[in-house]
A and B are shown apart, each in its own frame.
Chain A
């Protein structure tokens, strides 16, 4: 079981809700993933469009814990404002702190991320912070008291996989709160790898939403996260330089 603040989850896969081709494909993917946590962004309503399309109209969101993000914020103040607006919807007190500091890489601004996390903690939020794979920043965020660290595997939407497993391993080793690898996951292999490194969970969006068959990829990611978690718990073998036979070397039948 995965424990984040006061919440407990069976599934270790969190799913983003952006960029699906249709609401129907999204719903099928969400179901196939068996996720319990869905992320959202907060945006202005298009109030002058009477149709007011709501991509979540047909989904029963009460089955999920909702994790609003602060995407779009470039300062701590903007992030805090978005978090408060999301909270006012009365659907969850969790928030994914995301303060972008670079338009080209969408990497987070470490200073503003730290400030936003600190302020949201003081306001009583359950704080999950999206950060780069910076080991020291991850430790400082933890010292603030955040409820989960969410280091990126690679920049958002790139699908490059875990580009710095060394840093990620250190972040995981020192962590006393769950580590959810967020952003940059491209294929099930990446999800397995992250879980085998000891991550507590995975948050992904594009890898599923942009796949040729999102529901099938959602199922693959579910299985990958489970496989990686089981493999981590089971403990992998040491790597050896020389071969070692799996079959007995004695008792060979000879002509």
Chain B
């Protein structure tokens, strides 16, 4: 399946069905990442149930240094 993650098109293995699985695939499960799918922000508690579907646009953000 193809999705767009942070502006880049990416081919994902078919066994990735949820946001949680996607974060594991990207090795981000331990990070304080915030996920937005197709414009909807998904709080952490929802990650295990929210699906990832072909054509989704996903943003993964975190805190960086700033003033």
A57-111 interface (Cβ within 8 A of B):
66, 68-69, 71, 84-86, 88-91
A69 contacts B67, CB within 8 Å? yes
- Take A54-B31, A89-B34 as given contacts and tell me if A47 and B26 are in contact as well, using a CB distance cutoff of 8 Å: yes
B11 at the binding interface (Cβ < 8 Å): no
B8-67 interface (Cβ within 8 A of A):
8, 26-28, 31-34, 36, 41-44, 59-67
Contact of B63 among A26, A40, A206 (CB under 8 A): A40
Tell me, in angstroms, the Cα distance from A54 to B62 when the chains sit together. 10
Contacts of B66 in A (CB 8 A): 16-18, 39-41, 69, 71, 205
Tell me, in angstroms, the Cα distance from A44 to B32 when the chains sit together. 12
Contacts of A86 in B (CB 8 A): 34, 63
Contacts of A90 in B (CB 8 A): 43-44
Contacts of B33 in A (CB 8 A): 45
A50 at the binding interface (Cβ < 8 Å): yes
Q: Count residues of chain B with CB under 8 A from any CB of chain A.
A: 25
Contacts of B31 in A (CB 8 A): 45, 52, 54
Contacts of A206 in B (CB 8 A): 67
Tell me, in angstroms, the Cα distance from A90 to B33 when the chains sit together. 10
Contacts of A20 in B (CB 8 A): 65
Tell me, in angstroms, the Cα distance from A13 to B62 when the chains sit together. 24
Q: Closest CB of chain B to A190's CB: distance in Å?
A: 15
A241 at the binding interface (Cβ < 8 Å): no
A85 contacts B34, CB within 8 Å? yes
Q: Which one of B33, B43, B63 has the greatest number of beta carbons of chain A within 10 Å?
A: B63
Q: Closest CB of chain A to B9's CB: distance in Å?
A: 12
- Take A45-B31, A47-B28, A52-B28 as given contacts and tell me if A85 and B64 are in contact as well, using a CB distance cutoff of 8 Å: no
Contacts of A16 in B (CB 8 A): 65-67
Chain B, Cβ-Cβ closest to A71: B66
A43 contacts B62, CB within 8 Å? yes
A41 contacts B63, CB within 8 Å? yes
Contacts of A156 in B (CB 8 A): 67
B6 contacts A45, CB within 8 Å? yes
A194 at the binding interface (Cβ < 8 Å): no
Tell me, in angstroms, the Cα distance from A16 to B66 when the chains sit together. 6
Tell me, in angstroms, the Cα distance from A86 to B33 when the chains sit together. 10
Q: Closest CB of chain B to A90's CB: distance in Å?
A: 7
Contacts of A18 in B (CB 8 A): 64-67
Q: Closest CB of chain B to A115's CB: distance in Å?
A: 19
B64 contacts A47, CB within 8 Å? no
Tell me, in angstroms, the Cα distance from A24 to B43 when the chains sit together. 31
Chain B, Cβ-Cβ closest to A50: B27
Q: 6 closest pairs, A vs B, by CB?
A: A41-B66, A16-B67, A205-B67, A17-B65, A40-B63, A18-B65
Which residues of A are at the interface with B, using a C-beta cutoff of 8 A? 16-20, 26, 39-45, 47-48, 50, 52, 54-56, 66, 68-69, 71, 84-86, 88-91, 156, 183, 203-206
Which residues of B are at the interface with A, using a C-beta cutoff of 8 A? 5-8, 26-28, 31-34, 36, 41-44, 59-67
